[in-house]
């Protein structure tokens, strides 16, 4: 068992549908994060992002963390964990306090934010993130720094991301069963965005599509925040399952076919390329099934088309329409499928790039791919001291609240797309 460490440690844990991955980083004196170790295990007991078997998933969590601890030479007490399954909702709450015309001081802002925290009522849902956006002074919107200004009323828009309590409780329980504390549960798209979007992209407006094994999360970012999200209960593993069904091969072989020969773009040469669908000797000396690459591509393409159509519907419903030019960033393990960004660019009619997590010092190459955006983003979020109302102590007093679903900020967004 490795010895406890004196250094500031941050541990990130991403419980996905296909893999559980852990990352331990430390913060150097210059404030930069440095990776000490990583660990990964095949995920068990997780379906479409939801924990469905406590015991199996607890073992996978424990083992992934133990590997990371062994490599790091440290032990960790608690983790920053992700939640990426369906049921995440984003909303905007507007809070206001009366100031009676005096000059705004830091305490007024803190009081307003505390009022905001107390005012966010999600009808039984758990608030994961509550980030203050721009301030409003006497009805004038878009104030970045209210301190020092005179005001009768000070208001703020608060971006809220919430989820149903039961699935969160299950994740919490699994982690605690693995003898670890839970520092915070973070919505996956918030973490992934931090890891693979630039600050400028998040400010100007960008869509992030994280295609995992069983879930695809589509989120919109503008003004440096997540301003809308949709979850699609489909992912890259559905392509694997389709291949396994179509050619009667095991999932393991279907996965190999997808990763080695699969692509989102077809080519006339696909008709002439023969592939062994089941490897020779893999199945008690049975005859290998031979297919053309074109046959494989038909299966892959069908599912990719369905996924892309659903992504397009999600983008439209979020108001990400209008003039060409707004970028889509594709991440998650599904972004590894050959030519998928090219294919989506054609269908969506806008620039699509694959987003990989920005390199942290010491991050092994094996954990630098798009499948690790959420994991790396968790550590990045933990390492920064961004203001989130869920981190504040209990609310002191509640202000006037106007809850508008996808309120004003999104209305502004819609106009500009
Ligand atoms: N080279 C590749 N070509 C095609 N697909 C790939 C490739 N590499 C990985 N994938 C797919 O990426 C998926 C795993 O993605 P990821 O690790 O992001 O999922 P997860 O986090 O475990 O699941 P989720 O987020 O959906 O709960 C698998 O279905 C895998 O087949
Ligand atoms: Mg994932």
Q: What is the CATH number of the domain that holds 298?
A: 3.30.420.40
212 Cα: distance to centroid of ligand 1 (angstroms)? 5
The number of angstroms, rounded, from the C-alpha of 324 to the middle of its chain's C-alpha atoms is: 25
- HSE value, Cβ hemisphere, 13 Å, CA-based, for 355: 31
Same domain, 50 and 171: yes
Q: Is 86 exposed, middle or buried (0-12, 13-18, 19+ CB in 10 A)?
A: middle
Alpha-carbon span 384 to 10, nearest angstrom: 11
330 Cα: distance to centroid of ligand 2 (angstroms)? 13
The secondary element (H helix, E strand) that includes residue 96 is: strand 89-98
Indicate if ligand 1 lies below 6 Å from the C-beta of 17.
yes
Ligand nearest to the CA of 57: 1
Same domain, 328 and 363: no
Query: Range of 321's domain?
Result: 198-354
SS3 175: helix
Same domain, 225 and 323: yes
206 Cα: distance to centroid of ligand 2 (angstroms)? 20
Indicate if ligand 1 lies below 6 Å from the C-beta of 238.
no
Q: Whose CA is nearest to atom 20 of ligand 1?
A: 16
401 Cα: distance to centroid of ligand 2 (angstroms)? 34
- The number of residues in the chain equals 417
Q: Whose CA is nearest to atom 12 of ligand 1?
A: 333
Indicate if ligand 1 lies below 6 Å from the C-beta of 370.
no
Residue 38 forms part of a structural domain = yes
Can you say whether the dihedral through the CA atoms of 157, 163, 164, 169 is positive or negative? negative
Indicate if ligand 1 lies below 6 Å from the C-beta of 146.
no
Same domain, 122 and 82: no
Which pLDDT score is estimated for 10? 97
**Domain CATH for 151:** 3.30.1490.110
Instruction: Sort residue 377 into left (φ over 0), alpha (ψ -120 to 50) or beta.
Output: alpha
Which pLDDT score is estimated for 124? 86
Residue 414 forms part of a structural domain = no
Indicate if ligand 1 lies below 6 Å from the C-beta of 19.
yes
Indicate if ligand 1 lies below 6 Å from the C-beta of 332.
yes
Indicate if ligand 1 lies below 6 Å from the C-beta of 255.
yes
Residue 81 forms part of a structural domain = yes
Sequence-distant (6+) residues with CB within 8 A of 316 are: none
Residue 362 forms part of a structural domain = yes
Same domain, 138 and 31: no
Alpha-carbon span 91 to 53, nearest angstrom: 31
Which pLDDT score is estimated for 286? 65
Ligand nearest to the CA of 85: 1
Which pLDDT score is estimated for 282? 56
How is residue 413 written in tokens?
């967004």
Residue 334 forms part of a structural domain = yes
The model's pTM: 0.89
Same domain, 80 and 205: no
Using an 8 Å Cβ cutoff, are 169 and 115 in contact? no
Q: Which of 253, 333, 356, 376 gets mutated to test ligand 1 (max ligand atoms within 8 A of its CB)?
A: 333
Atom of ligand 1 nearest to the CA of 19: 22
State the 10-residue block means of pLDDT for the chain, 417 residues long: 66 98 95 96 96 97 98 97 92 88 90 80 85 88 90 91 94 97 97 96 94 97 91 97 95 96 95 84 66 97 98 94 80 98 96 95 95 98 80 44 33 30
Indicate if ligand 1 lies below 6 Å from the C-beta of 18.
yes
Ligand nearest to the CA of 370: 1
235 Cα: distance to centroid of ligand 1 (angstroms)? 8
Residue 296 forms part of a structural domain = yes
333 Cα: distance to centroid of ligand 1 (angstroms)? 3
Alpha-carbon span 337 to 212, nearest angstrom: 11
* Domain end residue (candidates: 311, 335, 354): 354
Using an 8 Å Cβ cutoff, are 186 and 14 in contact? no
Residue 26 forms part of a structural domain = yes
**Neighbouring-strand partners of residue 122:** none
Alpha-carbon span 156 to 135, nearest angstrom: 4
Which pLDDT score is estimated for 350? 92
Q: Whose CA is nearest to atom 25 of ligand 1?
A: 212
Ligand nearest to the CA of 372: 1
What string of DSSP letters covers 336-359?
GSTTHHHHHHHHHTS-EEE--PPP
Same domain, 275 and 396: no
Indicate if ligand 1 lies below 6 Å from the C-beta of 118.
no
Indicate if ligand 1 lies below 6 Å from the C-beta of 41.
no
Which pLDDT score is estimated for 411? 30
135 Cα: distance to centroid of ligand 2 (angstroms)? 34
266 Cα: distance to centroid of ligand 2 (angstroms)? 27
**Neighbouring-strand partners of residue 402:** 94
Same domain, 184 and 127: no
Domain count for the chain, please give it.
3
Same domain, 181 and 270: no
231 Cα: distance to centroid of ligand 2 (angstroms)? 12
Residue 29 forms part of a structural domain = yes
Atom of ligand 1 nearest to the CA of 240: 31
Sequence-distant (6+) residues with CB within 8 A of 97 are: 108, 111, 112, 115, 153, 154, 155, 399, 400
Using an 8 Å Cβ cutoff, are 297 and 337 in contact? no
Instruction: Sort residue 79 into left (φ over 0), alpha (ψ -120 to 50) or beta.
Output: beta
Same domain, 23 and 123: no
Which pLDDT score is estimated for 284? 57
Same domain, 227 and 287: yes
Same domain, 110 and 34: no
């Amino acid at each position: 068992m490795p010895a406890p460490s004196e250094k500031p440690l941050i541990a990130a844990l991403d419980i996905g549908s296909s893999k559980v991955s852990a990352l331990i980083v430390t913060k150097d004196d210059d404030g930069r994060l440095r990776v000490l170790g990583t660990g990964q295990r095949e995920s068990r007991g997780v379906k479409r992002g939801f924990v469905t078997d406590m015991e199996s998933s607890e073992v996978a969590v424990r083992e992934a963390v133990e590997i990371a601890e062994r490599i790091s030479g440290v032990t960790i007490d608690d983790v920053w964990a992700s939640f990426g399954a369906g049921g995440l909702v984003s909303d905007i709450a507007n809070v206001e306090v009366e100031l009676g015309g005096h000059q705004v001081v830091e305490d007024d802002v803190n009081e307003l934010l505390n009022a905001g925290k107390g005012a966010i009522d999600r009808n039984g849902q758990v608030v994961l993130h509550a980030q203050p956006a721009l301030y409003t002074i006497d009805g004038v919107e878009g104030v970045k720094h209210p301190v020092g200004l005179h005001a009768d009323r000070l208001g703020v828009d608060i971006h809220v991301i919430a989820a149903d309590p039961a699935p969160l409780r299950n994740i919490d329980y699994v982690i605690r069963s693995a003898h670890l504390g839970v520092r915070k549960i973070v919505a996956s798209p918030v973490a992934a965005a931090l890891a693979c979007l630039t600050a400028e992209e998040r400010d100007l407006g960008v869509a992030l599509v994280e295609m995992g094994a069983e879930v695809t999360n589509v989120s919109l970012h503008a003004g440096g925040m997540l301003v809308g999200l949709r979850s699609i209960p489909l992912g890259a593993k559905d392509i694997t399952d389709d291949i396994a069904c179509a050619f009667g091969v095991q999932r393991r072989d279907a996965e190999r076919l997808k990763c080695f020969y699969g692509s989102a773009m077809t080519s006339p040469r696909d008709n002439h390329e023969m592939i062994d669908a089941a490897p020779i000797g893999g199945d008690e000396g049975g005859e290998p099934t031979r297919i053309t690459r074109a046959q494989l591509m038909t299966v892959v393409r069908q599912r990719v088309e369905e996924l892309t159509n659903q992504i397009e519907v999600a983008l439209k419903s979020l108001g990400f329409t209008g003039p060409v030019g707004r970028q889509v960033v594709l991440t998650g393990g599904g972004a590894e499928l050959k030519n998928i960004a090219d294919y989506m660019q054609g269908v969506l009619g806008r620039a699509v790039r694959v987003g990989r997590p920005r390199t942290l010092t010491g991050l092994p190459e094996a954990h630098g791919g798009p499948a690790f955006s959420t994991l790396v983003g968790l550590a990045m979020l933990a390492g920064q001291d961004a203001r989130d109302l869920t981190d504040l102590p209990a609310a002191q007093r509640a202000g006037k609240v106007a809850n508008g679903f996808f309120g004003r900020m999104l209305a502004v967004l819609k106009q500009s797309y």
